[in-house]
Amino acid sequence: MQADLLDEAQRAIARTLPARRDDYRLGYHLSPPAGWMNDPNGLVYFRGEYHVFYQHHPYSPQWGPMYWGHARSADLVHWEHLPIALAPGDPFDRDGCFSGSAVVDGDTLYLIYTGHRWLGEAGNDEQGMRQVQCLASSTDGIAFTKHGAVIDTPPHPDIMHFRDPRVWRRGDHWWMALGARQGDDPLLLLYRSRDLRQWDCLGRALEGRREADGYMWECPDLFELEGRDVFLFSPQGLEPDGHERWNLFQNGYRLGRLDERARFVAESELREIDHGHDFYAAQTLLAPDGRRLLWAWMDMWQSPMPSQAHHWCGALTLPRELSRDGDRLRMRPARELAALRQSRQALAIGALESGSRTLEVRGALLEFELELELTGSSAERFGLALRCSDDGRERTLLYFDAMARRLVLDRQHSGAGVSGVRSVPVAPGQTRIALRIFLDRSSIEVFVDDGVHTLSSRIYPRPDSLGVGAFAVNGRGVFAEGAVWSLADLKL
């Protein structure tokens, strides 16, 4: 039955591909060949290659019963789409193979995921659901055999939301973190196993309260980073607070320690890990060289998704290297991404006085490195205009706001459907802002001050909106010399 369902899903994608339009198709980011994509799942290194699985609906560009899409790469740059790995349809996952993780044990690759069933009308939480944790395995990394539910009941009858298993090796045991919800309060649950099949519940590693912590912690990830434990998660139900938390849902982390009683002792407040419009469900992978790599879904629930009209939807961020700076995390682009660079052009903007300048740069797939000089600048705002149309109607702005002392990403005129601004603080006394910017056909990722902050957002300009400019408002803006590269169009 599983093989038939997978074959049918692959045929659905093949039928859709001739009708797919690529106006917004990303050149070097992972996105589905057709249909819908959301959370990255099962990030794993197996037999000399990186594997990325993802939540996938192959039959339409809308969310539906979840399958596991699959891609692999030897270098984190060039990706190969593989056959769909998991299809819903068995009694334990009839309505969806929800998010989870992957591990390698010996010569076998295991997927651990949430099997989902609606107890009433599909999508109706009030009528109930049943969520269980399931296991599948493969010896070739392509064809998977399901082994059914390995955890079939939550630890308390009041827990209905019970999903997104994150499994890792610690000592002689496998450990599993699960996000859960009891009433209106979120929980982090921990389990332990010797064989991936029989699991013992270790209890509640961390408990939250609706008012301060949201009502659900999705996609939990627990890992050690440079001597501290990190709890990375996606809280739902938080209200905006100042400049923070303006997306429908967020992605955040707390630093702390996982103690001998299997309790996570938080030692920092919740911090957003990315401040753009489109970043959710981040998950990590420990690379063979010891780096902690991260991907996230580069979209947000209930946001405009113009590519749905083109028979595909969803993308993942670029892979990022995580490091720790005291009680904060840094994210830098994976070093392998330098292989995308093609022609280089110097960027010598200099000082700009109360005006704008069109630069001799054009393109949809670009990488920028430059610095904004705050010392010597008097403008209220100054920065870059990206993906500009010749008629002036489309542009994505990235600029320093001197009055608010914030770096602002403004997509009020970034193309079809999208709007809004996001920003990150600039410290008092800071003299420069270092920027590394990746543009793709329908995305922008900004790395600020060597990864202290990041902003990831989808944009949907017209294909011919390719201009780049610099501007300064009511004063002098100073740009240090930089560079811009055209990037390879890999048509992933």
Please list the active-site residues: 39
Which residues are paired to 410 by β-bridges?
A: 397, 421
| Whole-number Å distance between alpha carbons of 134 and 328 | 34
DSSP 212: H
Which residues are paired to 150 by β-bridges?
A: none
Q: Quickly list DSSP for 132-162.
A: EEEEEEESSSSS-EEEEEEE-S-SSTTEEEE
| Whole-number Å distance between alpha carbons of 448 and 108 | 40
| Whole-number Å distance between alpha carbons of 63 and 73 | 26
Annotate 264-289 with b (16+ C-beta within 10 A) or e (fewer).
beeebebebbbbbbbbbbbbbbbbee
Report CA 362 to chain centroid distance, whole Å.
27
| Whole-number Å distance between alpha carbons of 37 and 79 | 16
CB-based contact 374:363 (threshold 8 Å): no
Break the chain down into helix, strand, coil percent, rounded to 5.
5, 55, 40
